[in-house]
Amino acid sequence: MNFTREIKREIMRREPAEKISFLAGILDTCGDREKLLFSIENEEIAAYVLGLFEAVSLPMTLMRAERDPKLGRDKLTFSHAGGGALFSVQEDEVSGRSYLAGAFLGSGSCTLPGEGKKTGYHLEIVFEKGEAAEAFLDLLDTFQLMGSSVRRGEKHVVYLKNREGIADFLSALGAERALSRLEALSAEREENNLENRVSNCYQGNADKSAIASAAQTVRLTKLKEGGVLVTLPEGLRTAAEARLAHPELSLSELAEKLGISKSCLNHRLRKLMALAGDRKRHD
């Protein structure tokens, strides 16, 4: 499942706290508030939104179904006979969060960096009108989120292009599962980046003792966080805890501190590194 779909399905797992503001977000991104109509390709989202309109006593009817040759599926347009004066967003936090969620469900998308890449975080929401996009930027500002906007043809796009901003946006939506996935991916890539920096230092003829200690610390920290260290024999556990406590010491200095030979400590650390490597492959 791609990340955008994951976020949208999480939004649809519950009813919005403030339905009118949520539906206003839908209308501003894939419809028209004044005409009280919206168009959407995804039938699952359409069914969810129609249920919310029913819940606020504004039943919608299908106006037309047009085939989208690019997407290879129908674009469904729904409308209501009444006006849209009811759809004014209240200026409170609950309404604001509901509007954010509705807008993302209506036309939002979010992509994460590809494998081995450091950049590529991008979240955007497309609005039908410039006024709605500007109001959305103001709403983001109330949540301490710095968005930007650009015109794309007749559409107006508001976007975030950094991991921290996207994480804060997901938090504002209450999309905890998607946020957890984002944080886990970021942590994994940070570890990989650290290991890559260690490897690059080796290639640059840096201090091999210090670099080895850094590499050991990275992997031993993972074993500790995973609850593995407490399950190990005393000798291995002691060696691991000593290295974590004293990453600055050379192998000889650490062996002396533990009262064992350098070769014995080296043997134990090699075992620990092999264990960490096996665990990483299995994860």
The band of 194, judged by pLDDT with boundaries at 50, 70 and 90, is low
- DSSP character at residue 145: -
What span, in angstroms and rounded, lies between the C-alpha atoms of 257 and 104? 57
pLDDT for res 220: 87
Position with higher pLDDT, 229 vs 156: 156
What span, in angstroms and rounded, lies between the C-alpha atoms of 61 and 39? 12
The band of 187, judged by pLDDT with boundaries at 50, 70 and 90, is low
Bridge partners, 67 (sequence order): 74
What span, in angstroms and rounded, lies between the C-alpha atoms of 111 and 92? 29
Question: Is pTM beyond 0.75 here?
Answer: no
Residue 262 identity: K
Which two structure tokens, joined as six digits, stand for 46?
């359409």
User: The domain 3-182: what is its CATH number?
Assistant: 3.10.28.10
All residues at 6 or more sequence positions from 277 whose CB lies less than 8 Å from its CB, including other chains: 219
For the chain, the structural domain boundaries read 3-182, 207-282
- Beta-sheet pairing, 61-68 with 37-40: unpaired
At residue 206, does pLDDT exceed 70? Answer: no
The band of 205, judged by pLDDT with boundaries at 50, 70 and 90, is very low
For residue 94, which of 27, 171, 18 has the smallest C-alpha distance?
18
At residue 212, does pLDDT exceed 80? Answer: no
pLDDT for res 70: 67
Question: What mean pLDDT is predicted for residues 185-193?
Answer: 62
pLDDT for res 117: 62
What span, in angstroms and rounded, lies between the C-alpha atoms of 133 and 158? 6
Question: What mean pLDDT is predicted for residues 191-211?
Answer: 53
At residue 54, does pLDDT exceed 60? Answer: yes
Position with higher pLDDT, 169 vs 207: 169
pLDDT for res 247: 85
3-state SS class at 136: helix
pLDDT for res 202: 47
The band of 97, judged by pLDDT with boundaries at 50, 70 and 90, is very high
